[in-house]
Amino acid sequence: MSETDVKDEKEISAETNGKAEKKSKKKKPGKKYNLLRHKFWFAIGKPLTMAFLKIKANFKRTKNHLTKRPYMILCNHACDLDPLMVINSVPGVVHALASDHLFKSPVFGKFVAHIAGPIPIVRAQMDLKSIQEAMQVRKDGGSLLIFPEANCCFSSKTSYIAPSIAKLVKKFKMPLALFNVKGSYLTKPRWSNSWRKGRTTCELVRVIEPEELAAMSVDEVYDAICQALSFNEMEYQRQQMIPFKGHELLDGAERMLFQCPKCGRLMTMKSEGDSIGCTECGYRVSMNSCGFFEGDDVIFDSFDKWDDWQREQAVKLVSEENYDTSGKEPLLITPANELYKAKRASKNVLIGEGSFALYSDRLVFETDNAFETDEEGNSVSIGPKTFVWSFEDITKLSCVHKNRIQISVGEKEYFEIHSQTTFRSAYAYMIYFYCLKRKEQGKPLDFFGM
């Protein structure tokens, strides 16, 4: 080999190594949680979001005695604005645990992640990666915000809180701050298509120091959390009678009020403006500005009472086996649904459109035209297909956003079912699924998930 060839070979090698080094540098991720960066953005963002909350929800910040130090913050959850209300009630930087759906938007998700550094959680629960990220936030000196209900409540009262939250609190050994948001449910219920303006507050209920937490048992911590976070907005309204002004106050309410209290039929309710009625028997009520139902034949005057009755009816139907226990006929079935394959903090992939049914022992999605992703990432039609998930394989069924169903299969696979109509209530599917599954397991019918 000549001297020229050796020189050329060295230059090519150096050029190749240089490109590889640049490529490696490009792939190297930056630090996700940077306290200085978040302090800068929080200093700018808090006054702006405070002004927004004042205009949008008439939010009034209540004084509390919290000092500038890291806290683990727990709060009840009734509205998408709750995180902003809590963050503006706590000094310093607060990293919230948020549904991974927030990160599915490539632009907005990255923007929020850069500014506030929320921690994505999948299937409405913390996985190992979420816990590791939360530990990093604690190490960096930031506060953690968790909504133990893992979802906005559908009714006006605090939903089920998993006992595992108490173990997590003791594990982190941080000062525990317990908050109540009030007024946010009637400002924007999760089922609603419209906003209304009344009055909202975020009140500190209790602070438990690490020394006190260490001396408490897990059960004692859990009881303290449940007691502090327990809140029923409609009972609060019976005392306060705060008017919430808006338009089309019940638009979308059939996502939550899925059973007619007069004829008892499921998913026959349909909202229109400030009223909701049954398409089968004609029962109809309207809602006033204080959030209570009015009409000539009011059976339940508030959301919480109507919802309590719906849940009781589900328990009664399942416990008395007033359905096809053989599994041949569905208990619930609705057309016009979309099935998606979902991944953590990534965009969902459509895999079919069709009907969705709940049987005594399984969930079934049938489509005339299913899609699969080929090696190049393209969506390819494969024709008719039936997806079946037995109760035994389903680890969790959750409601997402207003009316989506999220099905967790095993530990790493999950699907989402979106509806093209508000008639299909994800909330109804969740309640009846847990009733049926717990009956199959021989457990009390007292847990409805979220």
State the residue for tokens 């709750």: 82
Which one-letter DSSP state was computed for residue 134?
A: H
Claim to verify: residue 68 and residue 157 sit in the same structural domain: yes
Choose the final residue of a domain: 240, 273, 289: 240
Q: What is the pLDDT of residue 16?
A: 46
Choose the final residue of a domain: 319, 344, 379: 319
Instruction: Enumerate residue ranges in the chain where pLDDT < 50.
Output: 1-17, 19-30
The pTM for the full model equals: 0.84
Q: Which amino acid is located at 281 in the chain?
A: C
CA 395 – CA 413 distance, rounded (Å) = 10
Claim to verify: residue 50 and residue 169 sit in the same structural domain: yes
Q: Is there a domain that residue 405 lies in?
A: yes
Q: Which residues contact 112 (CB under 8 A, 6 or more apart)?
A: 102, 103, 118
Q: Per the structure block, which two tokens stand in for 378?
A: 């393209």
Q: Is there a domain that residue 170 lies in?
A: yes
CA 416 – CA 100 distance, rounded (Å) = 13
Claim to verify: residue 105 and residue 180 sit in the same structural domain: yes
State the residue for tokens 């502090």: 228
Claim to verify: residue 305 and residue 363 sit in the same structural domain: no
The values of phi and psi at residue 326, to 5°, are -75, -20
Claim to verify: residue 216 and residue 92 sit in the same structural domain: yes
CA 115 – CA 45 distance, rounded (Å) = 9
Residue pLDDT, tens place only, 307-336: 999 999 999 999 999 999 999 999 999 999
Q: Is there a domain that residue 348 lies in?
A: yes
Claim to verify: residue 266 and residue 158 sit in the same structural domain: no
Q: What is the pLDDT of residue 135?
A: 82
Cβ(414)–Cβ(277) under 8 Å?
Answer: no
CA 249 – CA 227 distance, rounded (Å) = 30
Q: Is there a domain that residue 396 lies in?
A: yes
CA 81 – CA 183 distance, rounded (Å) = 11
- SS3 call for 139: helix
Claim to verify: residue 129 and residue 164 sit in the same structural domain: yes
- SS3 call for 16: helix
Q: Which residues contact 45 (CB under 8 A, 6 or more apart)?
A: 115, 116
CA 227 to chain CA mean position, Å: 21
Claim to verify: residue 198 and residue 69 sit in the same structural domain: yes
Q: Which amino acid is located at 309 in the chain?
A: W
CA 109 – CA 118 distance, rounded (Å) = 10
* Residue 351, domain extent: 332-441
What do you get for the CA distance between the two ends of the chain, in Å?
72
E strand or H helix at 225, and its extent?
helix 218-229
CA 208 – CA 228 distance, rounded (Å) = 11
Q: What is the pLDDT of residue 4?
A: 45
Q: Is there a domain that residue 324 lies in?
A: no
Q: Is there a domain that residue 4 lies in?
A: no
Looking up residue 116, the CATH number of its domain turns out to be 3.40.1130.10
Q: How many domains does the chain have?
A: 3
